[in-house]
Amino acid sequence: MDIRLLGEGDMPMAAALWKHAFNDSDRFIGWYLENKAQSSLGMFDGGRLISALHIVPYTIMIQGRQMPTAFITGAATLKEHRGRGYMRRLLYEALALLKSRGVLITHLYPFKHSFYEKLGWAAFSYVARQTVTEAYCRRGADVIETRDTFLLSALYDKMMRGYEGYIIRGEREWRLRTEELAIDGGRTAVLIKDGAASAYMLFYGENGKADIIETVYEDEEDIAALLGYILGQGFESAEYFIPYNGKEKFGMARLVDAQGLLRTLGAERLLEKTSVKDDFAEWNNVGAGGGGFVDAASLAAYIHMGTDLKTAESLGYYFKQKSTCIFETY
């Protein structure tokens, strides 16, 4: 088996593998591979691409700091080659590649959380998900549909002030977000209350159901108004989610370079008394170990969400408890 970065000539095989695994539209796959994936890593067998993943750069908020991250997406293996550990090996090579590039942490949204938990990833964000069949608009409130990123970004930035673990969205990120939504007919509903935008939902609709992929709000009562509008567009039901600590697992994080990350976060002194234990990416086994061990997955979660451990020089000393939120899945 040969593992290497994909070149332009490999993209038709990459698109076919994505289609094979996820059955997204050809238009979406082509756009994604051309516009969003910064680089792609693949495993070949006799010139045939049998497993691949893609890497998207983002900036994420961690403990009040903006940190570069690499989002791993589209991880897939041909059905006839699954169950042989190929994706495990590809993910290992991806982590090694990211470390060589100076990336300290990586994120993803999994097809199955338990698969990635075995490899040192940890859930750092949680959501409450609900499906509704009826809702009512509020009096004195209107809903418009728009892709005005200036309006959307103001609402997003305002909500995110109360959270950690979210993606920092500049002009590039908003352009990609709205283009991605539009490719398969996604729509944006914005609530106008007292003459000002107060909440929005990004959603797709198919077979009588609205799939809401992002709900941004300040007042939870505004959610019902948006749901009322969306259901009024001819949908029988609508599913949405909002951040909710401790509920359903959502986004996941993993250490790429434990020592480098702790140094950047001003917490490298932890390693004087504690060691990091990483059974997958062995270069992360660092620290003195005199005060005990912390496994890589737990440390990734603590770095995002904090902990209530308050002993001197403990994790809680450096990582304060935070509420987390992330909407990106690709």
Query: Do 153 and 119 sit in the same domain of this protein?
Result: no
Q: What percent of the chain has pLDDT over 70?
A: 96
What is the number of domains present in the chain? 2
pLDDT tens-digit map of 91-108: 999 999 999 999 999 999
Query: Do 116 and 149 sit in the same domain of this protein?
Result: no
- DSSP of 11-29, one letter per residue? HHHHHHHHHHHH---HHHH
Given a cut of 80, is residue 136 above it in pLDDT? no
Query: Do 151 and 234 sit in the same domain of this protein?
Result: yes
In a domain, 273, yes or no: no
Average pLDDT over residues 56-76: 96
Given a cut of 50, is residue 312 above it in pLDDT? no
In a domain, 136, yes or no: yes
Q: Which of 68-77, 148-157, 289-298 is predicted with the least confidence, judged by mean pLDDT?
A: 289-298
Q: Which tokens is 256 given? A: 């790429």
In a domain, 289, yes or no: no
Query: Do 21 and 114 sit in the same domain of this protein?
Result: yes
Cα–Cα nearest to 237, from 127, 134, 129, 128: 134
Query: Do 165 and 264 sit in the same domain of this protein?
Result: no
Query: Do 8 and 120 sit in the same domain of this protein?
Result: yes
In what helix (H) or strand (E) does residue 196 lie, and over which residues does it extend? strand 196-206
Given a cut of 50, is residue 55 above it in pLDDT? yes
Query: Do 237 and 322 sit in the same domain of this protein?
Result: no
Query: Do 61 and 106 sit in the same domain of this protein?
Result: yes
Q: What is the mean pLDDT of the chain?
A: 94
In a domain, 281, yes or no: no
Q: What percent of the chain has pLDDT over 90?
A: 85
Task: Find tokens 């996604």 and name the residue.
Answer: 186
Average pLDDT over residues 269-289: 92
Given a cut of 50, is residue 131 above it in pLDDT? yes
Q: How far apart are CA 137 and CA 140, in angstroms?
A: 9
Q: Which tokens is 197 given? A: 């935008």
Domain boundary (228, 243, 258) is at 243
In a domain, 30, yes or no: yes
Query: Do 233 and 255 sit in the same domain of this protein?
Result: no
Q: Left, alpha or beta for 85 (phi > 0: left; psi -120 to 50: alpha)? A: left
Query: Do 239 and 132 sit in the same domain of this protein?
Result: yes
Average pLDDT over residues 288-297: 83
Query: Do 117 and 163 sit in the same domain of this protein?
Result: no
In what helix (H) or strand (E) does residue 158 lie, and over which residues does it extend? helix 149-160
In a domain, 276, yes or no: no
In a domain, 14, yes or no: yes
Average pLDDT over residues 270-281: 92
Reduce the DSSP state of residue 53 to 3 states and report it: strand
Given a cut of 80, is residue 314 above it in pLDDT? no
In a domain, 229, yes or no: yes
Reduce the DSSP state of residue 82 to 3 states and report it: coil
Residue 180 is classified by DSSP as: H
Q: Which residues of 66-78 are buried (b: 16+ CB within 10 A; e: fewer)?
A: ebebbbbbbbbbb
Residue 159's domain is classified under what CATH number?
3.40.630.30
pLDDT tens-digit map of 7-51: 999 999 999 999 999 999 999 999 999 999 999 999 999 999 999
Average pLDDT over residues 216-221: 92
Distances (CA, A) of 202 to 212, 219, 303, 327: 6, 17, 29, 10
Domain boundary (208, 243, 278) is at 243
Q: What is the pLDDT of residue 307?
A: 84
Query: Do 217 and 254 sit in the same domain of this protein?
Result: no
Q: Which of 69-73, 137-141, 237-241, 254-258 is predicted with the least confidence, judged by mean pLDDT?
A: 137-141
Domain interval for residue 199: 127-243
Q: Which residues of 12-51 are buried (b: 16+ CB within 10 A; e: fewer)?
A: ebbbebbeebeebeeebbebbbeebbebbbbbbeeeebbb
Q: What is the pLDDT of residue 138?
A: 65
The torsion of the CA quartet 74, 153, 211, 247, rounded to 10 degrees, works out to 80
Report the DSSP beta bridge partners of residue 147: none
Average pLDDT over residues 209-233: 95
Measure the CA angle with vertex 203, ends 147 and 29; round to 5°. 85
